[in-house]
Chain A
Amino acid sequence: MKEYIDTGKKDTRSGFGAGLALLGDSNPKVVAMTADLKGSLKMDAFAAAHPDRFFDVGIAEANMVGMAAGLAIAGYIPFIGTFANFATARVLDQIRQSVCYSRTNVKIAASHAGITLGEDGATHQTLEDIGLMRQLPGMVVLNPCDYNQTRAATLAAAAWNGPVYLRFGRPGVPNFTPADQPFEIGKAIHLEEGSDVSIFATGHLVWEAIQATRELEARGVSVDLIDIATIKPLDKEAVIASARKTGKVVVAEEHLIAGGLGEEIAAVLAAACPTPMRFVAIDDQFGQSGKPAELMAAYGLDAAHIIEAALSF
């Protein structure tokens, strides 16, 4: 197994902020907007360097989506940033009509996704956003796993012509992927080659899956470990090839089972090569207040639960 070195905990939202700042300097078409969450979205650097291309529209997310669509029609590349719940569920119809159906080149930057938002509780912990966004025709859904990958995904989102949903989180998590990595939209990232069980992980669950893989390998279980940083378009070829090889699939994500990556992979495999699956995700319930790590354990989203799932076939 390769070595994965945690270079220090960093929040993925800061990876977005760093990527956005780079884009601000390199691409005059990039515009950033937020609905009163500039600091939380780490947009301060962009805002300070490019005040003429930064809009804090106040607590009015629907209008933000529409304005972004108008700017995109005129040729700009707007990144709109707010908490994942307000970036999706609150404005689903605006995204559907003004962005996806209208093919406007809007990038939705969604922070504080999932249960690791923590103490604010269930009103803010969206666990449905991947499902909502991946249902929209034409939407690309990215869920990078650490600071470096989020930074790279931000640059890739700007280069992509069309709507992108970029999902990231609040807490500091191990930063272990290469700083200079390219990010190829639509490409699964094969971390470990193995033959006994496939583990597909996305977002914060990738680091947990790496810990799980180390433990499973120590117990003699050979793991095929894949980081699904692009949830849509899914790298079906990589998913099918891995499932064919191992015949057992675990999917780990910080989301509800309903609508999540697991369901997406299940649909692909059911048609191409039906494979027994386990879902490390949350089953039909809201979250609650707590510390991120505490909530991950309580809701079954950690290495221990991935190991349990992998051994349960």
Chain B
Amino acid sequence: MEYTLEQIASQVRRDIVRMVTAAASGHPGGSMSATDVLTYLFFKEMNVTPENWRRDGEGLDQFFLSAGHISPVLYSLLARRGYFPVDELATFRRYGSRLQGHPSVDKNLPGVNQAAGSLGQGLSVALGAAVAKRMKGDPHTVYVLIGDGESEEGQIWEAAMAAAHYKVDNLIAMTDWNHQQIDGRVEDVAGLGDLRSKWEAFGWTVLEGDGHDFTDIERVFKKARSRSRLGSPVMILWHTEMGHGVDFMAGTCKWHGKNPSVEQCAEAMKQLEETMGDFAL
């Protein structure tokens, strides 16, 4: 049966909260802020399926997650999209699991093409992959998601300069701009200032969108595609909320890297509709 994007996103948020609760660790906050954007990306935007996915991305759109700590949202989406069995989500962070705390290629989990976790590296990797597509004449697009807190890493700006310098216009980068990092509000910890102007000054085409409104998400992705291949890399700044979807988890850094208790998980489940069937625990 066909599910709406809202239904999928609701199930993905349920998966995230249940995974980190079962593992008694993990990063729900950023996973839930990125859920809607990535749901659209995996179910509507990208030209890649579980059947034709391959690590080298040849002849396909490619996605790199740079902010590796939000692995729960990636794993849930890959499972819900059909890359591996949904019940495998129950193994998250357990010994021997393909679902490592942070994404890894070590155990050959389908859909994951690069390890991430140590922040700031994924934009460079995506840039390399985009350059490779251009060299091969492959017309597909490389997508990458970074965090706003992650943008404090110097390597992000090295990659930003290089992408513009090489006019890598088959690269669509996205920032999950939820304004939270482990130690507090990004603005209080190490403010990014005028993020839009920074990316523009680095030579990027910058778009902004509401990362929790599927109508706007669709509008901005369409715009991003129309603005790519014009000589500049594209950055989408998604306005999001950490912990979005559960009232006591939303808008605070408290849930960046903390799991809910069993009782809190039950409370969260009341706020998130089960649409596609929970994975078995």
- Contact residues of A with B, CB < 8 Å? 52-53, 55, 57-58, 60, 62-76, 78, 93-94, 96-98, 101-104
A66 and B159 within 8 A (CB): yes
Q: Which residue of B lies closest to A101 (CB)?
A: B115
Interface size on B, residues (CB 8 A): 38
Known: A74-B56, A75-B132, A98-B125. A66 touches B155 (CB 8 A): yes
- Residues of B near A68 (CB, < 8 A) are 128
- Residues of A near B114 (CB, < 8 A) are 69-70, 73, 98, 102, 104
- Residues of A near B130 (CB, < 8 A) are 70
Known: A66-B159, A98-B114. A71 touches B121 (CB 8 A): no
A67 and B125 within 8 A (CB): yes
Q: Does B280 contact A (CB under 8 A)?
A: no
B158 and A74 within 8 A (CB): no
Q: What is the interface of chain B mostly: helix, strand, loop, or mixed?
A: helix
What's the A-B contact tally at a CB cutoff of 8 Å? 111
- Contact residues of B with A, CB < 8 Å? 55-58, 64, 104-106, 113-118, 120-133, 135-136, 154-155, 158-159, 161-162, 165-166
Q: Which residue of B lies closest to A106 (CB)?
A: B128
A69 and B133 within 8 A (CB): no
Q: A74-B58, A96-B118, A103-B106 given; name 4 further pairs at CB < 8 Å.
A: A58-B161, A64-B124, A74-B128, A101-B104
A74 and B136 within 8 A (CB): yes
A75 and B56 within 8 A (CB): yes
- Residues of A near B161 (CB, < 8 A) are 58, 60, 63
- Residues of A near B106 (CB, < 8 A) are 101, 103
28 contacts between A and B (CB under 8 A): A62-B158, A63-B124, A63-B162, A64-B124, A66-B123, A66-B124, A67-B127, A67-B162, A68-B128, A69-B114, A69-B128, A70-B125, A70-B127, A70-B130, A73-B114, A73-B125, A74-B133, A75-B56, A75-B58, A75-B132, A78-B128, A97-B115, A97-B118, A97-B121, A98-B115, A101-B104, A103-B106, A104-B114
B119: min CB distance to chain A, Å = 10
B105 and A103 within 8 A (CB): yes
Known: A66-B127, A67-B127, A67-B128. A73 touches B118 (CB 8 A): no
Cα distance A68–B132 in the bound complex, in angstroms: 10
B135 and A67 within 8 A (CB): no
Known: A57-B162, A102-B114, A103-B105. A74 touches B129 (CB 8 A): yes
Q: Which residue of A lies closest to B68 (CB)?
A: A97
The 8 Å CB contact of B131, one of A71, A75, A98, A101, is A71
B24: min CB distance to chain A, Å = 25
A102 and B126 within 8 A (CB): no
A68: min CB distance to chain B, Å = 6
Known: A60-B158, A62-B158. A98 touches B124 (CB 8 A): yes
Cα distance A144–B278 in the bound complex, in angstroms: 57
Cα distance A70–B64 in the bound complex, in angstroms: 10
B44: min CB distance to chain A, Å = 24
- Residues of A near B159 (CB, < 8 A) are 63, 66-67
B125 and A66 within 8 A (CB): yes
A11: min CB distance to chain B, Å = 29
Cα distance A231–B135 in the bound complex, in angstroms: 34
A36: min CB distance to chain B, Å = 12
Q: Which residue of B lies closest to A35 (CB)?
A: B158
